[in-house]
């Protein structure tokens, strides 16, 4: 069996569609129930949904052979996995945002609220800018509104959350998208199976371009 960890939520549904179109379908996944693992014995695959930020943990520790994780998670946590290729879905930007009127005069330590402390630290280190990192776990946009931080480093997809809260993008750090990742040992032991799956999915990704 090839065990596949998919990110729960909107992105995961899009990704499952790619697998399905590539011939790696698992009809039981569409049943409304509370099952956590879905198998297609004939195809030799099993899927399970996990929190997006947990996918790389399952893959790194061999609980899953392959998985789908955002580039943001791979850069932030640097899991010891193979990044196989860009699925071209879940496209968004990692960006610095702040209140529209905010101007960084560079004179004092910049307060940065984020879930992505490593990405933010690396970015500001590259600019030689001293920062005070405030680690939050969600609703990051509240921080500059309430004066908890000067700026945020967060994911911007449509820009709607920023706009509706009078915030704006000040800098784009890097583009993000979903990547197919593999456990290193699985990639060696199940190479043929994984490569077959990669080429089927690549075909779908190229078709949808
Ligand atoms: C993400 C991100 C932004 C929002 C951006 O939050 O942290 O808040 O999506 O999307 P938009 O540009 O399309 O408005 P998520 O929904 O993952 O929840 P979170 O607040 O827990 O981070």
Q: One digit per residue, pLDDT tens: the chain, 209 residues?
A: 999 999 998 899 999 999 999 999 998 888 888 888 999 998 899 999 999 999 999 999 999 999 999 999 999 999 999 999 999 999 999 999 999 999 998 889 999 999 999 999 999 999 999 999 999 999 999 999 999 999 999 999 999 999 999 999 999 999 999 999 999 999 999 999 999 999 999 998 888 76
The pLDDT, as a whole number, for residue 166 is 96
Please identify which residue in the block is written with the tokens 């699925």.
87
Q: Which of 93, 116, 138 for a ligand 1 pocket mutation test, highest count of atoms within 8 Å of Cβ?
A: 138
Measured CA to CA in angstroms, residue 202 lies from 3, 155, 205 at distances of: 19, 26, 5
The answer to whether the CB of 72 is under 6 A from ligand 1 is: no
Residue 155 near ligand 1, beta carbon < 6 Å: yes
- Residue pair 173/93 in contact (Cβ under 8 Å)? The answer is yes
Q: To test the ligand 1 pocket, which listed residue (73, 155, 173) has its Cβ within 8 A of the most ligand atoms?
A: 155
Residue from 157, 163, 166 to probe ligand 1 pocket by mutation (most atoms less than 8 Å from CB): 157
Residues 132 and 75: beta-carbon distance below 8 Å:
no
CA of 75 to the centre of ligand 1 (A): 18
Q: Does residue 22 have its Cβ closer than 6 Å to ligand 1?
A: no
Looking at residue 125, its pLDDT comes to 98
Atom 10 in ligand 1: which residue has the minimum CA distance? 157
Q: In the prediction, which pLDDT does 80 show?
A: 98
Cβ 160 under 6 angstroms from ligand 1 = yes
pLDDT at 27: 86
Distance CA 91, CA 72 (A): 11
Torsion from C-alpha of 186, 192, 198, 203, nearest 10 degrees: -170
- 73 CA distance to ligand 1 centroid (A)? 14
Q: Which pLDDT does position 17 carry in this prediction? A: 93
User: Is the shortest distance between the CB of 201 and ligand 1 below 6 Å?
Assistant: no
pLDDT score of 207:
81
Ligand 1 contact via 137 beta carbon (within 6 Å): no
């Amino acid at each position: 069996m090839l065990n596949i960890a998919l990110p729960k939520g909107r992105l995961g549904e899009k990704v499952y569609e790619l697998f399905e179109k590539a011939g790696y379908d698992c009809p039981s996944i569409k049943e409304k129930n509370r099952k956590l693992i879905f198998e297609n014995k004939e195809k030799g695959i099993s899927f399970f949904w996990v929190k997006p930020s947990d996918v790389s943990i399952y893959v790194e520790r061999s609980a899953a052979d392959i998985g789908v994780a955002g580039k943001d998670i791979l850069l932030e946590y640097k899991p010891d996995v193979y990044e196989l290729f860009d699925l071209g879905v879940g496209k968004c930007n990692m960006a610095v945002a702040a209140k529209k009127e905010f101007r960084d005069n560079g004179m004092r330590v910049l307060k940065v609220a984020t879930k992505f402390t490593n990405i933010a630290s690396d970015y500001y280190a590259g600019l030689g800018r001293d920062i005070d990192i405030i680690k939050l776990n969600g609703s990051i946009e509240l921080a500059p509104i309430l004066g908890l931080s000067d700026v945020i480093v967060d994911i911007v997809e449509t820009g709607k959350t920023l706009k509706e809260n009078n915030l704006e993008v000040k800098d784009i750090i890097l583009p993000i998208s979903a990547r197919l990742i593999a456990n290193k040992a699985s990639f060696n032991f199940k190479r043929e199976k994984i490569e077959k799956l990669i080429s089927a999915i690549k075909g779908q990704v190229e078709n949808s371009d």
